[in-house]
Structure 1
């Protein structure tokens, strides 16, 4: 009797733990001798929160896990008419696979399987639990206390961003000033060059005039000698 009582004392917590452990809202599909079970790694799934889609593959006849199940099969997650291929990787437990995902819309999602798993052709899908709004779990409500809810380090991050913007604006102003100085110097150089060219042109005109006058004087002199 004492041994039975001791055994019951040890077994009772295990039984209670088995009854009290959380139940995951995973759905399943059976194809031939395969059982596919799928669901969210974190439940309830919340919009905008990192989560995982977990898939378990076992054989119905002997309840054994199927390893390397998706070597010849494609698995996509679907939301309405949009779908995306899942990059499933083996989990620690044999027969389990997982892929990270951030759900961005509320409502129901589904996982579709096509191809060959364990030499069995599959073309089926599993519906997942609806993605919910995170507001139902928020506490305290955002904005309920002006002094609360500001992420740690947010003010320092904003100060660093503003400082960086100020430095960029000052650098831009300095670059603009340098460009303005270069343009002004170029304009002054062009003006000086144009003035020098004008003076050279006037000197040339005067020289031509003097040459023409000399020719005229020489012609008059020759005519008188004749």
Structure 2
């Protein structure tokens, strides 16, 4: 029993270390293009939903390890998530070769960062994934509502809705509202077009009815004239 307990005590730390090492660690990710090395990451970690942060890029030369100045004179940094893309305004930081661009992440999950253009005469078009955006509830305390639960130290899940969830729902509702407005506008335009077509059809029908009536009157007059002429001829005979 003592030997089994000793083996278990030694195995648990090893298993924990293996589990932690298996997790993807983004932090600052290095990517290379020719003689240019770029380390990309968040200025503040962990990045939190709705909180001002920065995307940082450290640019150095691989050959001598020296920082590259004015690296983004002919290059851009673009962040993307799903089908959305945004070009960031990159500014040099105090440390030589370090650059940063402000951003407020508005969705949970992973962002991709693409660096494209020319840096120190080297063409670059590199994309990396940065650390996932997390919910603010991992750091907030006490709960936003400021109320105390009746269970004397629960996890606070019943003490109010997390701000991150509220922000996400607000974004979803805004998107749905825009889509409904667009659909309503399209439906109204279609209704107006249908009414115009109906009016045009009625107008054509009215004109056709008038033409038909005029034609029938003309035929009637013609028939009457023939009848009068025939009667006149019969009298002469």
- Structure 2 distance, partners of 1:33, 1:40, is 23
Is it true that 1:125 corresponds to 2:123 in the alignment?
A: no
- Which residue of 89, 92, 115 corresponds with 1:90? 92
Give unpaired runs (5+ residues) of structure 1: 1-22, 150-226
- Structure 2 distance, partners of 1:126, 1:120, is 18
**Once superposed, which parts of structure 1, at least 4 consecutive aligned residues long, lie more than 4 Å away?**
none
In the TM superposition, residue 125 of structure 1 has moved relative to its aligned partner by: 1.2
Equivalence for 1:64: 66
- Structure 2 distance, partners of 1:124, 1:43, is 22
- Structure 2 distance, partners of 1:115, 1:136, is 37
Tell me which structure has the larger Cα radius of gyration.
1
- Structure 2 distance, partners of 1:52, 1:66, is 20
| TM-score of the two chains, using structure 2 as the length reference | 0.50
Query: 3-state DSSP class of the match of 1:135?
Result: helix
- Structure 2 distance, partners of 1:49, 1:77, is 16
In the TM superposition, residue 143 of structure 1 has moved relative to its aligned partner by: 2.3
Is it true that 1:100 corresponds to 2:102 in the alignment?
A: yes
In the TM superposition, residue 73 of structure 1 has moved relative to its aligned partner by: 1.2
Contact 1:24–1:43, Cα closer than 8 Å, also in 2? no
In the TM superposition, residue 136 of structure 1 has moved relative to its aligned partner by: 1.6
Give unpaired runs (5+ residues) of structure 2: 1-24, 149-159, 161-237
- Which residue of 26, 43, 58 corresponds with 1:41? 43
Post-superposition Cα deviations, 1:38-94, rounded to whole Å, max 9, x if no partner, equal 100110000000111111000001000000001111211111211111100000000
Q: What count of residue pairs does the alignment treat as equivalent? A: 126
Query: 3-state DSSP class of the match of 2:78?
Result: strand
Equivalence for 1:111: 113
Is it true that 1:55 corresponds to 2:49 in the alignment?
A: no
| TM-score of the two chains, using structure 1 as the length reference | 0.53
- Which residues of 2 match residues 153-192 of structure 1 at below 5 A? none
RMSD over equivalenced CA pairs, Å? 2.1
